Amino acid sequence: MKREKEMGGREYEEVRCLGVAKQFGIAIKGTEKITELLSMSQVAEKMGFSTYWIAEDYFFGGAFSMATACAAGTSKIKIGIGVLNPFTRHPALTAMETAALSNFSGNRLMLGVGSSNAHWIQNQMGIPFEAPLSSVQDCVEIVRKMLAGGKVTHQGKRFSVKEAELELSVTGKVPIYLGVKGEKGLQMAGEIADGILLSAGVSVPYVKWAMDHLAKGAEKSKDGLANFDVAAYLLISIHHDGQIAREAIKNRVARTIGLHGNHPILLTAGFRPEEIKPFREAFLRREKAGHLVTEKMIDLLAIAGTPAECQEKFKKILDAGVTQPILCDIEEISLEENMQMVREYLFPLLADG
């Protein structure tokens, strides 16, 4: 087997993939220092991960700056921005930044667009959080048209441009993913996007529910879901002692439940509002609530346990429709150790891509 050497001298054997999904990604919090983001992108590339998704979390580093640093320090791994919102940058500016970074990276950029949230956008920055889905749609259409070249005029419900034209040409296509969760957003993604970024903590029932709405939206698109990428942020914890793996992920599962609240992500998985309430209250108080997490909750929202247990759960997520699994960075778990376990035990379940 071919071996890749990590920056510190550690070697990683090349893993041949044999299963069904196309690629494996990593999601990194935008709260990390840019030097740490760069270093981990290089490790991810050498380990054979295909994509590297960087979140834009307010008020930390800007996603384009962080992605540019990672693109400069790598040569093969695709760099994803997951996700930008249409409010803090006009879509024309997003098109400018996207074009420049796509060219600089050698056509390795993937652009994620979502609506963000009212707290950041309106409460803290004073920008009206109006018509979020229409705003996302305007952003996607303006960015895509401007990247295609020529003068663009677009009169949208929220954002518009008149005879706007990029002064640089983009040498390749930039796939656009939507970071949306509800049925209307999913249907819009199926219609206008190249892929979807499903939120962390998705269950098999939710993925199937999401696939139904993506397919409904795709009926209005030219190609349907034939080339559509279903990416999903996954909560993964693998350890030869399954109980250690499950214990390590409890606080993240609790935060995920509190974050989503009474949303279809949880309701489709069988959560009852009264189960969700204490997690939501703890989340709003910024308190840990891992002690409230049951074994069933872990089984629904995470891939956690022994290697064999995780392989079985991983297969079910892929069978539900996920084509790009993405490993989430979890505070209580060493990311590099988790990457190595994923590489050893889950990579072989993927298809050569």
For residue 30, the model assigns a pLDDT of 78
Q: What is the mean pLDDT of residues 314-321?
A: 96
C-alpha dihedral over 187, 189, 193, 198, to 10 degrees?
-140
Q: Are 317 and 303 in contact (CB under 8 A)?
A: yes
Determine the 3-state secondary structure of 131 from DSSP. Answer: coil
Strand partners, 27: 53, 328
Q: Is a pLDDT exceeding 90 seen at residue 29?
A: no
Q: Is a pLDDT exceeding 80 seen at residue 22?
A: no
Q: Are 266 and 260 in contact (CB under 8 A)?
A: yes
For residue 69, the model assigns a pLDDT of 96
Q: pLDDT tens-digit profile of 249-267?
A: 999 999 999 999 999 999 9
Nearest-angstrom CA–CA distance, 1 and 12: 10
Q: What is the mean pLDDT of residues 41-58?
A: 95
List b or e across 156-190, with b for residues whose CB sees 16 or more CB atoms inside 10 angstroms: bebbebeebebeeebeeebbbbbbbbebebbbbbb
Structural domains present in the chain:
17-241+304-349 (3.20.20.30), 250-301 (no CATH)
Least confident of 17-26, 78-87, 100-109: 17-26
Q: pLDDT tens-digit profile of 64-93?
A: 999 999 999 999 999 999 999 999 999 999
Q: Are 324 and 27 in contact (CB under 8 A)?
A: no
Nearest-angstrom CA–CA distance, 130 and 74: 38
- For residue 256 the two structure tokens come to 């995920």
Q: pLDDT tens-digit profile of 173-230?
A: 999 999 999 999 999 999 999 999 999 999 999 999 999 999 999 999 988 898 999 9
Nearest-angstrom CA–CA distance, 17 and 350: 5
Q: Is 13 left (phi over 0), alpha (psi -120 to 50) or beta?
A: beta
Q: Are 55 and 329 in contact (CB under 8 A)?
A: no
Determine the 3-state secondary structure of 288 from DSSP. Answer: coil
What percent of the chain stands above pLDDT 70? 94
- For residue 49 the two structure tokens come to 């991960």
C-alpha dihedral over 309, 313, 314, 315, to 10 degrees?
110
Q: pLDDT tens-digit profile of 143-155?
A: 999 999 999 999 9
Q: Are strands 324-328 and 25-28 parallel, antiparallel or unpaired?
A: parallel
- Eight-class DSSP state of 352: P
Nearest-angstrom CA–CA distance, 40 and 26: 10
- For residue 105 the two structure tokens come to 């990276």
Cβ atoms < 10 Å from Cβ of 342 = 22
Kindly report the pTM of this predicted structure.
0.91
Q: pLDDT tens-digit profile of 164-185?
A: 999 999 989 999 999 999 999 9
Q: Is a pLDDT exceeding 70 seen at residue 6?
A: no
For residue 252, the model assigns a pLDDT of 98
Q: Is a pLDDT exceeding 80 seen at residue 16?
A: no
Residue 315 φ then ψ, to 5°: -60, -40
What percent of the chain stands above pLDDT 90? 86
- Eight-class DSSP state of 9: S
Model confidence at 352, pLDDT cuts 50, 70, 90, reads: low
Q: Is a pLDDT exceeding 70 seen at residue 353?
A: no
**Which ranges of the chain does DSSP label H, i.e. alpha helix?**
34-47, 63-72, 91-105, 118, 132-148, 183-192, 204-218, 242-248, 250-260, 264-267, 273-284, 295-301, 307-320, 335-345
Q: Which long-range contacts (CB under 8 A, 24 or more apart) does 219-226 make?
A: 219/190, 220/190, 220/191, 221/190, 221/191, 221/192, 225/190
**DSSP per-residue string spanning 202-270:** --HHHHHHHHHHHHHHHTTSSSTTTT-EEEEEE-EEE-SSHHHHHHHTHHHHHHHHHHH-SSHHHHTTT
